[in-house]
Amino acid sequence: MNYFIVGDIHGCYHTFMELLNKYWSPENQILVQVGDMVDRGNFPAKVLNAVRDLEAKHPEAVISLMGNHERELIEHLKASTNPFWLAQGGITTVNDMKQEITDLDELLSWLKARPMFYETDHIFVSHAGISKTTNDPFDYDSCNGVLWTREPLKDLGKTQVVGHTPTHDGKPRFDPSSNTWYIDTWAYHGKGLCGAIFNEQGQMIEWHVEPTSTLDIDVQPGLRRTV
């Protein structure tokens, strides 16, 4: 069984569905999404619903991980406000949830159940990776944990696959020092959404970047979005 690992979607629903329709084969590929499904793109709640539907339809072949944006959304739903998250694209998600999400308690339970990593003997997938400097990589709120770090990553003796740190050129990037593939190809910034196929030995077979649909983002001329 191979792995189809998808980078940060950030609300780019049409781009995500087009990527899956073209390149994912649920019969022989496990779909792993690295987190940051929400915020910034136009349809974050539609992405959440789509991923939940895929998990229900293919319970043995779909894994969606926790990203830092899901973590911040959880805090917003628990506290009824999260100003930090709202300033990082959360307003788009709140507005879309009003249209698409009928049961916020159910959504919160599902979000809280997102695993922080997916691991086999030869591959380790997380949102941001295992940092060289971390004392506890699975601390939800640590700046050097698997949800937040942008520090150099540790060589785990297996392939790491991460999102979170965008590659900026719209292509996945390999770091041989830590045996890590970075696959956040900046979908919400208009570059495209990456789906990379790995075999059971943790080797990348091929990668595809679906160009970001113009339906998914609103970028005015001259406007540069921040990470």
**For residue 101, what are its two tokens?**
């999400």
Task: Give me the mean pLDDT over the 23-29 stretch.
Answer: 97
Using CA atoms, how far apart are residues 160 and 128, in angstroms rounded to an integer? 10
HSE of 88 in the Cβ direction (CA atoms, 13 Å)?
15
Using CA atoms, how far apart are residues 120 and 227, in angstroms rounded to an integer? 30
**Beta carbons within 10 angstroms of residue 84's beta carbon:** 10
**For residue 71, what are its two tokens?**
């973590």
Task: Give residue 60's pLDDT.
Answer: 94
Helix, strand, coil percentages (3-state) for the chain, rounded to 5, are 30, 20, 50
Using CA atoms, how far apart are residues 62 and 107, in angstroms rounded to an integer? 17
Please tell me whether the overall predicted TM-score, pTM, comes out greater than 0.85 for this model.
yes
Task: Give residue 80's pLDDT.
Answer: 86
Which domains does the chain possess? 2-210 (3.60.21.10)
**Residues of the chain with pLDDT > 70: what percent?**
96
Single out the residue of 158, 193, 147, 222 nearest to residue 16, CA to CA.
193
Residue 172 makes CB contacts below 8 A (sequence gap 6+) with: 7, 181, 182, 183, 185, 194, 196, 204, 207, 209
Distances in whole angstroms, Cα of residue 131 to Cα of each of 53, 145, 219: 33, 7, 33
Task: Give me the mean pLDDT over the 34-53 stretch.
Answer: 98
**For residue 114, what are its two tokens?**
């997102």
Query: Burial of 158 by CB count in 10 Å (0-12 exposed, 13-18 middle, 19+ buried)?
Result: middle
pLDDT by residue (tens digit) across 117-169? 999 999 999 999 999 999 999 999 999 999 999 999 999 999 999 999 999 89
pLDDT by residue (tens digit) across 69-98? 999 999 999 998 999 999 989 999 999 999
Ramachandran category for residue 192: left, alpha or beta (phi over 0 → left; psi -120 to 50 → alpha): left
